[in-house]
Amino acid sequence: MITQLDLSKKMLNMEASTGLEEEKIPLLENNIDEDENEHLVRRVWIESKKLWQVAGPAIFNRVGNTSMFVMTQVFAGHLGDMELAATSIAMNVILGLDLGIMLGMSSALETLCGQAFGAKQYNMLGIYMQRSWIVLFITGILLLPIFIFATPILKFLGQPQEISELAGVISMWLIPTHIAYAFYFPFHFFLQSQLKNNIISWVTLVSLLVHSFLCWLVVVKLKLGVIALVASGNVAWFVLVFGFFGYVVLGGCPYTWTGFSMRAFSDLWGFAKLSAASGVMLCLEVWYDKVLVMMTGNLHNAKTVVEALTVCLTINNWEMMFPLAFLAATGVRVANELGAGNGEAAKFASQVSVVTSIIISVFFWLLIMIFRSQLGYMFTSSELVIEEVNKLSPLLGFTVLLNSVQPVLSGVAIGAGWQKYVAYVDLGCYYLIGIPLGFLLAFVYQLGVQGLWAGLICGGPALQTLILAWVTIRCDWNKEAETAKLHLSKWGGPNHVPN
């Protein structure tokens, strides 16, 4: 028989055990939270390594390619002011226009090759690259008149006659580089999409060393003049092309390069439309800075203002190497994950990339704000220009902060294949809102270059960033993964997975 004392003991034991369980519950919840936090930190670390695997070599490659252009202009400056001016105009205006178009159109490979690699349709990467060769080579032929008639084009744009004539001759000697672009950029994106970034860096290094030696040999040792200097620059670009070609064809990409194929000629029109959309998207963004400089030339005291703006834009271009590298990395990661059908992984990759790019840009923003009064001394000794640079530094800092997000979101768009829609956004934000707003603030309200730059920033990159951020946040990533699968089935073929 159970006594009252036994019953009381049992009740006390039950209350004690219940109390212990209640005490354990918060501890269990804390352990779960800690595990989730550790899991998130580990995921971020793994994704960051994947992003930097592309971004690190991309930074080196961009700096190397830019250095080849800068080096040519530096050596041209040792030949004389006329040679420097003509070379700078030929390379920045004529070749720069061509570069924007060819780079933009070839970026379609970032979408297609990246998604095909993620879907393990390895054999399609080589076919996509060959299609890009065909489309870009035809585009290159259509763009030849820009080089042939460079002199009258530059005169029409208001350049002095002597400079225009010499720049026209130099432009003719830049045609081999123009042709090299049609093969270099497809090779670059073909290799980048399958994470073969080390070979890109090594070939870029060799090309840069060859270019440096030839510039020294032609100008300092042989004293052959500016035409020979420009002609020697063509060699470096073909070192890049043949270096990539040798690596790919001689067995560096056994699964993604299966030889030349007639399938490259199929569906060229659909491929060309995606390439054109990519070209328009990037060109509208790249040419925006040129519009800013041209409009600044019409302001009061234009010489000083243009020099100060050039200093700020040069600093901005240096800093842009990091966000542009993350543009490339984000495009590759998003395309790979969407091609593999991992919509949530693509979303996570874009989030990590945005946060990383913001951290880097905040660091550069702090440097600009701290040393704003000293920035101009790196480029000039003119106190007027240095003072103007100091005035423009807040706008430069704001532009740097925008650079942290806008290129990465463009990389998301490239990886997902949204180029056509982003081209419409760019056209509206940059050219239908940004330029009129900048003109209004600068010339109607007499706010000068600060008003011009502020208007172009607010109407262009800032508005575009807000729109792309809204689209990215609302994106159904699982649906995008299904869309990528449909695109690959349309332009690709049956999966070819290596054993």
Same domain membership, residue 330 and residue 245: no
**Domain range for residue 224?**
54-277
Q: What is the total count of domains within the chain? A: 2
* Residue that finishes a domain, picked among 277, 302, 325: 277
* pTM as predicted: 0.75
Same domain membership, residue 258 and residue 160: yes
Contact 334, 411 (CB under 8 A): yes
Closest CA to 218 of 230, 228, 208: 228
Q: For residue 491, what pLDDT band results from cuts at 50, 70 and 90?
A: low
Q: What is the distance between the alpha carbons of residues 375 and 389, in angstroms, rounded to a whole number?
A: 7
Q: What is the distance between the alpha carbons of residues 386 and 455, in angstroms, rounded to a whole number?
A: 23
Q: For residue 238, what pLDDT band results from cuts at 50, 70 and 90?
A: very high
Rounded mean pLDDT, 289-315 = 72
37 part of a folded domain: no
Rounded mean pLDDT, 490-494 = 51
73 part of a folded domain: yes
- Predicted confidence (pLDDT) per residue in 471-481, tens digit: 888 888 888 88
Query: Could you tell me the two tokens for 235?
Result: 């060699």
Rounded mean pLDDT, 312-341 = 83
47 part of a folded domain: no
Same domain membership, residue 494 and residue 412: yes
- The pLDDT value recorded for residue 331 is 84
Q: For residue 34, what pLDDT band results from cuts at 50, 70 and 90?
A: low
Closest CA to 181 of 124, 234, 217, 256: 234
CA 308 to chain centre: 25
- The pLDDT value recorded for residue 490 is 61
Same domain membership, residue 254 and residue 331: no
Rounded mean pLDDT, 19-35 = 46
Q: What is the distance between the alpha carbons of residues 394 and 378, in angstroms, rounded to a whole number?
A: 18
Same domain membership, residue 323 and residue 236: no
Rounded mean pLDDT, 112-126 = 85
Same domain membership, residue 300 and residue 251: no
- The pLDDT value recorded for residue 37 is 65
Q: For residue 26, what pLDDT band results from cuts at 50, 70 and 90?
A: very low
- The pLDDT value recorded for residue 240 is 94
Q: What is the distance between the alpha carbons of residues 84 and 72, in angstroms, rounded to a whole number?
A: 9
Same domain membership, residue 96 and residue 137: yes
**When comparing pLDDT for 291 and 58, which is higher?**
58
25 part of a folded domain: no
6 part of a folded domain: no
pLDDT > 90 in the chain, percent: 17
- The pLDDT value recorded for residue 297 is 64
* Residue that finishes a domain, picked among 277, 301, 321: 277
Residue found by looking up tokens 């989730």 in the block: 36
- Give the CB-side neighbour count of residue 392, counting CA atoms within 13 A: 32
Quick check: 374 pLDDT over 70? Answer: yes
Same domain membership, residue 457 and residue 309: yes
Q: Which of 220-224, 374-378, 393-397 has the lowest mean pLDDT?
A: 374-378
- The pLDDT value recorded for residue 379 is 65
Q: Which of 91-95, 328-332, 342-346, 464-468 has the lowest mean pLDDT?
A: 91-95
* Residue that finishes a domain, picked among 251, 277, 303: 277
Same domain membership, residue 271 and residue 148: yes
1 part of a folded domain: no
Q: What is the distance between the alpha carbons of residues 473 and 82, in angstroms, rounded to a whole number?
A: 51
Contacts of 102 (CB under 8 A, 6+ apart): 136, 139, 140, 178, 181, 182, 185, 279
- The pLDDT value recorded for residue 129 is 92
Average pLDDT of the chain, as a whole number: 81
Contact 130, 264 (CB under 8 A): yes
Q: In the chain, count H helices and then E strands.
A: 21, 0
SS3 379: coil
Same domain membership, residue 369 and residue 266: no
